[in-house]
Structure formats: structure tokens, C-alpha cells
Amino acid sequence: MIAKDMPTFQSFELPKWEVITPHTQHRLLIKSMLVQQEEALKSSSLSTTKMLDLINKTVYDCLDSREAPFDTVDAFMKNLTLADREALIYGLIVSSYGEEQDFNVTCNACSKNFTEKASLHKTLILNYMKIKTLF
């Protein structure tokens, strides 16, 4: 196939979730991760500190807009609490993988393996977060 015969790439919007951070009450849109971001997280063999830095950088990079007070990674870290970042990580997971997940479970009694489908939003008790989907 010659390059001119290749189909053109059509731009598309990544899924987004709005997260209202529990402590600072910022309303932030977070986009789905890109494949390269997910691969960097999955294949990383970094120390705990460097892995946390990578996670925080990935969350920052997935913000839909980076305006003050989140115009730099340092400002992002300074202006959000740990609970705020946890809420954003939850939003990142849901926007990247969807609200329903399949979990592989092994029964302790009989060792049988089965798949259980669960809704993250309904199953997790996140009483300090207000998260909603945008369509």
C-alpha cells in the first residue's frame, strides 16, 4: 500500500469525566489515558517515589485544560490534596476503562475461577467524592 492510499486519521474526542475534588472543590475534566501513558504505567519498574511521580504526571497530563492554578505540574501538586488526587485517579480510571469492569475471581472453597462484572460507581463507596460522567 502506498502512503497516498492510506486512510486519513480522523481526529476524535477522548472520553472525559468531570471530577469535583472533595477538599478544594475544583471542577476538573479528566480525559482518558492514551495508550502510551497506560503502557508507561504498566511496564514501569521504577522506585515507589518515581512511580508516584509518574502517576501524578499522568493524571496532570490527562487534565482537559491546564489553567491556573494547575498550569504546571508543581502547581497541580501544590494546589490539590491527596484526597483530591485520589478522586482524579478514580476519574481517570473510569474515563479510560469505563464504569463497568470484569473481575476474575477464584473461589476459596472450590478453587473455581469465574468472571464477575461490577460497576465501579455503584460498588465503591466514595463518600468524599462527587463524580459524574459527561456524554
Any domain includes 99: yes
Asked whether residue 1 is assigned to any structural domain, the reply reads no
Rounded to 5°, the CA angle 77-79-81 comes to: 75
Alpha helices in 47-119 (DSSP H): 48-61, 73-79, 82-97
Low-confidence ranges of the chain (pLDDT < 70): 1-9, 121-135
Residue 106: inside a domain: yes
Under DSSP, the state recorded for 69 is T
pTM recorded for the entire structure = 0.73
C-alpha span between 90 and 106 (Å, rounded) = 25
H helices of 12-47, in order, are 35-43
Counted domains in the chain: 1
In a domain, 129, yes or no: yes
Q: Considering the domain boundaries, does residue 57 fall inside one?
A: yes
| Percent of the chain topping pLDDT 90 | 52
* Domain interval for residue 119: 14-133
Residue 9 domain-assigned (yes or no): no
d(CA 24, CA 67): 15
